[in-house]
Amino acid sequence: MNIFDPQGPIAAADATILVDSVAIMLAIVVPTIIAIFAFAFWFRQSNPRAFYSPDWAYSGRIELVVWSIPALTIILLGGVAWIGSHQLDPAASVQGTGSPVRIQAVSLDWKWLFIYPDQRIATVNTLTVPVGVPLNFELTSASVMNVFFVPQLGSMIYTMNGMVTRLNLRADREGTFQGLSAQFSGDGFPEMGFDVHVVSPLAFPDWVKSTAQSDRVLNADSYAELARQSVVTDKAAFRLDDVRLFEKISTQKLPPGPGPTLVTESAQSYLGAGHAR
Amino acid sequence: MLGKLDWSAIPIDEPIPLIAAGVVLFAILAVLIWAGVKGHYPYLWREWITSVDHKRIGVMYILLAMVMLLRGGTDAIMMRAQQTVAYHSNGYLPPEHFNQIFSAHGTIMIFFVGMPFVIGLMNLIVPLQLGVRDVAFPTLNSVGFWLTATGALLINVSLVVGEFARTGWLPFPPLSELTYSPGVGVDYYTWSLEISGIGTLVAGINLVTTVLKLRTRGMTYLRMPMFCWTTLASNLLIIAAFPILTATLAMLILDRYFGFHFFTNEAGGNVMMFMNLIWAWGHPEVYILVLPAFGIFSEVVSTFSSKVLFGYRSMVLATMAICIISFMVWLHHFFTMGAGPDVNAIFGIASMIIAVPTGVKIYNWLFTMFGGRVRFAVPMLWSIGFMVTFIIGGLTGVLLAVPPADFLLHNSLFLVAHFHNVIIGAVLFGAFAGYTYWFPKAFGFRLDEATGKAAFWFTLVGFYVTFMPLYVAGLLGMTRRMQHYDVAAWRPWMIAAGIGTVLLAIGVALQVLQLFVSIRRRDELRDTTGDPWDGRSLEWATSSPPPAFNFAVLPNVTGEDAYWRVKEHARRQDLDKREPDYKDIEMPRNSPTGFVCAFFATVMGFALIWHIWWMVGLGAVGAFATFVVFAWRDHDEYIIPATEVARIDRTNLAARRAALDLAGIAQ
């Protein structure tokens, strides 16, 4: 999950900006830290060779320098931020080979549902994508906020109920990578990790075909079951019954997740969600 | 009768909180009984609990902060221990307990350690530096302190009765809404902060009024010590920002208690409104904490370099610039919500701009040392430790203000390491520097140097060993608030951070030890002159501890570094041996208003949390009645006769003259 081991263009560009920004700042930070130690050491009280000028409190030249060095650095970094924000806008589409794959991600308590509307399939806690193809994500949440994040593929994005966020990524190497939720979402939060399988463009249709033969169907009923607070261990795959399911979730035509079921009347007062695991 | 409260609220089946609560209860009872047996209650009531003396209130604020630091620190140790062991296992804390602990840790450290520590130091020192006898509203000051204590008390009650929030230190909806958090945890959070927030607001109003309206003769704005300037800036921010917090939490309360839909999923509620509002308070809050610390460092660096602060006007400008810009950057807390590139870039650049005045401050402290005679006393060690640590924290902060970098690091342990880097590195180091620096002023004896230095080194090294690994873990993709994890690459860094926590804990233990050692050796460490560090501002011009009236004769200020000038003057011309013209002094009478008000506020807060409505009425009526009784008072001041003032001041002056004569001979 090392962000310095990027597997796609977005992750690589994010990481490059990160490293460049640190380098720009180190150029003034390192000399400043050295100067702090040097001044403190040289002007120690016990050093008879150091001069002492107790009333020296102003120098126009030094003032000019100390205001302009941070200002110039910030102008440079501000440029990096401006250009970087525009080039790496999560909503901006990414180039790639082949036609984009649309994926609709829904964060549930406490699992991820990935819907492939064009392929009419859906998976839980596992994301399978073809290598080199633009990945076009639409995201929402069934209940509380979460953040969709695959460190090696790049930019993260929030999921919120009643709202749709957009994210565009591309994976450039086959393999299995880890994704997680980067926003605390309750007792089952640490279980919200998921696998990202990046497969060859030839293997992807095969995977789609085999998944489409799943005997489990995702419809309003099985979605309601999923939306209940639970931690899942089996990575289920579904045939998608309703291609507009994501739209119904994000527009709340399907109601938000129900939250905790209370154990007993008397335990309501403090127990809350009870034991998640 | 008792609303939602019944026996199931006591966590009998959970040994960890039960034992912790038992130990705390036992300690409190032991102290109370000991104080009763020794007959300290009348003294405590007269001299401390009902005191409206800004110095006493300041000391009580700091004491509250230090006790809460132990509580918040215990939470930190438990969290780091959990993440050390919870690799491929559940650790020793179940999620519902772990989640309460990190929520309580953040809430306590910000609201009940950081805030009372800096407000306490400002209360203690600012009137002295301004050369006045008290703050603008002494009784209000006491009310503010006791309401803060109420908040702290309620949060600690949640350890025993019910639960604390499991939502993080900021209760983001919809997780904090009734649907997803049906327990009383979030209610403990909101009511604690509503009540203590009022306390903070009145403290802010009081200190701003004090700085603007109560300054001694000749103390113009541009002659005020830096600490007074940063106090002004910080308290202006309190007045502007805390009402936002109060209103935001009030909306959450309306959602939870009356079925409103400000932030719910349903009926048009909007969680992003909460995010915007809470950070519109939350980012200024960071500067509310750090600006006073900057002021402390300015005083300490100048005093221990025996030199005027370099670029005073630049510092003032930088302080006020930070004060204003800090309100324009809140969106950088959620770049990853998909706000669009223009918005992200503008808020990113605005956030970076704060680094300019902050950088200027660092350089000005640097050039204050240049040409000085640097004494490495404990406060100066904290200051140098701060300068280096804070630069690193600033670097990572500016890095997080670059939106594409934030896209990889948001909510990660890198972020956690960053804000601990600035909060510990600046606010806590500043608080410790101020504590060591002004302790002799408050109590008349210095703190033990050896244990102080040991505490500094353990804390500094402990900080780096704890938080540098967290930076690395964040770069390895580890997100915050994980109760357990399965990624092998994270494990070594969690173990390293665990070791660092042990070092930090030793540092804190050494500070406690330092206090005991210093009290035992207080006769050796006695400060007879009132000026143990060769100070520069007016707090050093009076005795340690100062008399109730601070200054027998209000000082006349002729320039910056007022007391330094007086000393120079005295050295040169051997003047100032005339007996001052003593007059009667009017001082405010003590009042139990604050304590009684806070007692009723505690009753009301607890009742609101548990839906015990008759008790809510009782608390509200009681608090209001206390206020009415206070408003009806006939006598609010008492007179200290001139003869008494003269008697107190003569002994003080004699010791001081002796010290000055000695300095004159040395020159």
pLDDT tens by residue, B298-325: 999 999 999 999 989 999 999 999 999 9
**CB-closest option in B372, B407, B477 to A88:** B407
The CA angle B640-B643-B646, to the nearest 5 degrees, is: 95
B175 interfacial to chain A (CB closer than 8 Å) = yes
A33–B388: do the CB atoms touch at under 8 Å? yes
In A, which residues are within 8 Å of B363 by CB distance?
32, 62, 66, 69
Q: What pairs with residue A137 in β-bridges?
A: A103, A167
pLDDT value, residue B344: 93
B271–A18: do the CB atoms touch at under 8 Å? no
Alpha-carbon distance of B481 to B79, in angstroms, equals 9
Q: Which residues of chain A have pLDDT under 70?
A: 262-277
B545 prior amide bond cis, ω within 30: yes
For residue range B13-40, what is the model confidence (pLDDT) as tens digits? 777 777 877 888 888 889 889 988 888 8
Within 8 A by CB and 6+ apart from B570, the residues are B576, B660, B664
Summarize the confidence of residues B127-141 as an average pLDDT.
92
pLDDT, greater one: B216 or B565: B216
Could you tell me which of B306, B312, B446 has the C-alpha nearest to residue B376?
B306
**B1-289 placed in CATH 1.20.210.10:** yes
Which value does ipTM take for this structure? 0.91
Residue B595, min C-alpha distance to chain A (Å): 30
Torsion from C-alpha of A116, A120, A125, A127, nearest 10 degrees: -50
Token readout for B403 is: 């939106």
Chain A contacts in chain B segment 594-613 (CB below 8 A) = 610
Alpha-carbon distance of A58 to A76, in angstroms, equals 28
- pLDDT classification of B557: cutoffs 50, 70, 90: confident
Summarize the confidence of residues B530-549 as an average pLDDT.
87
A27 interfacial to chain B (CB closer than 8 Å) = no
> Domain ranges in chain B?
1-289, 542-583+641-667
Torsion from C-alpha of A105, B487, A274, B192, nearest 10 degrees: -90
User: In chain B, what percentage of residues exceed pLDDT 90?
Assistant: 65
A190–B484: do the CB atoms touch at under 8 Å? yes
pLDDT value, residue B578: 64
Q: Is the pLDDT of residue B293 over 50?
A: yes
B388–A69: do the CB atoms touch at under 8 Å? no
Q: Is the pLDDT of residue B575 over 50?
A: no
pLDDT value, residue B574: 47
Q: pTM for this one?
A: 0.91
Within 8 A by CB and 6+ apart from A121, the residues are A115, A208, A211, A212, A214, A237, A238, A239, A240
For residue range B251-286, what is the model confidence (pLDDT) as tens digits? 999 999 998 999 988 888 899 999 999 999 999 999
**Closest residue of A to B268, CA-based?**
A162
**CB-closest option in B338, B407, B483 to A166:** B338
For residue range B630-650, what is the model confidence (pLDDT) as tens digits? 888 888 888 889 888 888 888
A64 interfacial to chain B (CB closer than 8 Å) = no
B166–A2: do the CB atoms touch at under 8 Å? no
- pLDDT classification of B666: cutoffs 50, 70, 90: very low
Surface-to-core class of residue A128, CB atoms within 10 Å of its CB (0-12 exposed, 13-18 middle, 19+ buried): buried
When computed from its CA atoms, the radius of gyration of chain A, rounded to whole angstroms, is: 26
**Mean pLDDT value across chain B:** 90
- pLDDT classification of B570: cutoffs 50, 70, 90: low
- pLDDT classification of B414: cutoffs 50, 70, 90: very high
Coil/strand/helix, residue B374:
strand
**Residue B135 burial (CB count, 10 A):** 26
